[in-house]
Amino acid sequence: MAHPHLTLRPGHPDPSTATDAEAVRPAAAPALVEAFEAIRAEHEIPAEFPPEVLAEAEEVAGTDVLPERDERAVEFITIDPEGSMDLDQAMHIEREGDGFLVRYAIADVPAFVAPEGAIAAESLRRGLTIYCPDERTPLHPPVMSEGAASLLPEEDRPAFVWELHLDAAGAVTSASVGRAAVRSRRRYTYVEAQEQIDDGSAEETLLLLKEVGVLRIEQEKARGGATLPMPEQEVEAEGGHFVTRFRPLLPAEDWNAQISLMTGMAAADLMLGAKVGILRTMPDPETQDIDALRRQARGLRVDWPQEMSYGDFLRSLDTTDGRHLFLVHEATSLFRGAGYTAFDGQEPEVRTQSAIAAPYAHATAPLRRLVDRFVLEICAAICAEQDIPAWAREALPELPELMKAAGSRAKSVERACVDAVEAAVLHPHVGEEFDGIVVDVDDSDGFTVQIPEPAVVARAQGQVEPGDEVRVRLTEADVREHRLAFELA
């Protein structure tokens, strides 16, 4: 059973925004914190960095690592969730004839990480930044990831600067990347960016982000790409409470994601051309899975014309409709098998990420994801026509398994923490009834229900039909075991 996309945001904003229905009451908070700690311990998530890693980070954070090329005159901006300090990306967009020039600056993490040093060794063990509602376990020491290497506003920083030239339709005509000194001018939250774009007060890069983002979405459709419109489930700290909610993604988040996807596709093309690198791959969905989803759509009387691709069908679904929401959850079967494929000397057999419908590589989040550091170094060497550093090339064979293990660990931790929060939110309401939508049905009189408020996805007992709007009774909410149970009311 697939869960909604998760966003876990440690922090302490205004607690007045939490409603009684969705806030964890103080009596449940100690048990919840204990549950988070137990989850991290169970999955062997490190509580702190070793002393030698911290010492190396402090030393390198105080050194001058700016490259000779100077792009500090370019007015880069960043767009991130509120409160973020590990800022990987900054962008600048301008018109170029009938098309566009997108400059995308990515934090130069290799400038701070000695290949044989303590930070490099620790990052291989961690693989990813892991997010829990109460705290994050970063890939790199905060003095680096939230300080010296982060693209914070009005700070000189080393970066990999991508230059992506686009035609009038938003297609990439050429792409290159090289090291440069940059200086971000402004940082926006997604909400701020969206508000300024909508009211017309936004600066040119934000206005062009919308224009380019819309064009890139059309490019995705034309390629046959598919986006799963799964609801976003947020867990956020709000003054001593944790809250859960479902929310739709802002258009600005989608446009921003398109810039990152475009960059990852450019990185993949560079590496494929040089026959060395590592791709993020996913096989095409099985024909029988698409046929099964078509049958489910027919059974639910949801129109899916025969000539319409599964990607276009998913984009047409409305998750406020219970039948559509059920199909979105069932469509996760089409997005299985994602992994990493390393290659050196010849192109790999599997080259594409099927949901993107193109070769793709992770290249835009090196502060939070290990593999990006290697991709960026390889791509920069290719563009400079230099030898790829031995440390990057030699690590390629082991990276797929390292990233697979890190990804599995992060998902397990994040899902368990969300389950614990859901149990804490509902702990005072055992015996009460809630409205929900059936998003999965099994063969043992069990089903999965998505409850809109508080935002919860949980198992329940009873005989139902896919997409039914149901009323369920909460029978158990165990915070320490992070378990919920419902029955059909």
Residue range 192-196: mean pLDDT, rounded: 97
Quick one: pLDDT at residue 2?
A: 43
Q: Cβ contacts of residue 279 below 8 Å, gap of 6+?
A: 268, 271, 272, 340, 341, 343, 348, 351, 353, 359, 360, 361
Phi, psi torsion values for 373, nearest 5 degrees? -60, -40
pLDDT of residue 135 exceeding 50: yes
The mean pLDDT value for 228-246 works out to 74
Sorted by where each begins, the domain ranges of the chain are: 6-283+337-422
Residue at 464: amino acid letter: V
Give the model confidence (pLDDT) of 416-453 as tens digits: 998 998 898 898 899 999 999 998 888 778 999 988 88
Query: Does residue 289 contact residue 333 with C-beta atoms inside 8 Å?
Result: yes
Q: In the predicted model, what is the mean pLDDT of the chain?
A: 90
Rounded to an integer, the average pLDDT of 84-104 is 97
List the one residue out of 29, 469, 405 whose CA is nearest residue 243.
Answer: 29
The amino acid occupying position 193 is: A
Q: What is the CA radius of gyration of the chain?
A: 23
What's the mean pLDDT in 64-72?
Answer: 95
pLDDT (0 to 100) of residue 7: 58
Query: Does residue 19 have a pLDDT over 80?
Result: no
pTM beyond 0.85: the answer is yes
Provide the pLDDT for residue 21. 38
Residue 354's pLDDT is what?
Answer: 94
Of 199-213, 250-264, 266-280, 450-464, the one with minimum mean pLDDT is: 450-464
Q: 203: pLDDT confidence band, cut at 50, 70 and 90? A: very high
Two structure tokens written together for 322: 């219970």
CB count, 10 Å around CB of 273? 11
More confident residue, 454 or 106: 106
Q: Among 214, 140, 130, 126, which Cα is nearest to 170's?
A: 214
